[in-house]
Amino acid sequence: MTSLLLLKLILAPSFVAFLSFIQRRWGDGLGGRLIGLPITTGPFIFIIYLQEGSSFASDAAHGVLVGQVALIIFAWSYSTSAVKFQWRRALAQGSAACIISGAILTSFYIPLGLLLLILLITWSAATKFWPEYSNPPREKSAPRWELPARLVVTVLLILSLTGFASLLGPRVAGALSTYPVITSVLGAFNQRRFGPGATVATLQGMVQVLPLTIFIMTFLTISL
């Protein structure tokens, strides 16, 4: 098991548990803003830097920026579907949009300047046309089995995506690497339990804070 995979298997479930607590205590918007920060991608870049060197880490940070475009598309597509459909269909549509856009974006090299322009346009369009929603207070507490289920689903998703990526080659691996595991798990469980407003608020909070992550990854891409 590689250090990166081990880090994902430790960090991702821990982050899901932490965010579940934050969302119950302080609301979905704050939880979403924490998801948007480079709390997981930052350590990944650091491990890659230690294992492969600065040039590889710079390319990885550039790859994270590419993934941010697919992440924004996922968030908007999922949110738009969530206000109309049940969580299964909303998650499927968001996932399809993420993987298709990731496959297109990772099929060729995008210069940093053009990539930042694409990010600016995508982020601006998503925030401007964000779906309207209502997020009423939560009146029901989650059952005891739900948090363990979230953690198990997170680990299974990571193992499945990693396994398929190693079998299907680097191009598909690049597309699969853009898939937002933590966001999809939290979004699906929140929509199922508390309604679409909880998911849409989480995703909106995440998108709002992404410019900070984009700035950090741009700095790493240039400086490493």
For the stretch 118-160, pLDDT in tens is 999 999 999 999 988 776 555 555 556 556 666 666 667 666 6
The H-or-E segment that residue 170 falls in is: helix 170-177
What domain range is 28 assigned to?
3-132+141-223
Ranges of the chain with pLDDT below 70: 1-9, 11-13, 16, 19-20, 23, 26-33, 35-36, 39-41, 43-44, 47-48, 51, 135-155, 157-178, 182
Structure tokens at 137: 């207070």
Q: How far apart are CA 100 and CA 95, in angstroms?
A: 8
Residue with tokens 């298997």: 9
For residue 102, the model assigns a pLDDT of: 85
Q: Are 183 and 116 in contact (CB under 8 A)?
A: no
Distance of alpha carbon 172 from the chain centroid:
17
For residue 46, the model assigns a pLDDT of: 75
For residue 170, the model assigns a pLDDT of: 47
3 state DSSP class of 60: helix
Structure tokens at 192: 């199922």
Buried b (16+ CB within 10 A) or exposed e, 82-104: bbeeebeebbebbbebbbebbbe
What is the number of structural domains in the chain?
Answer: 1
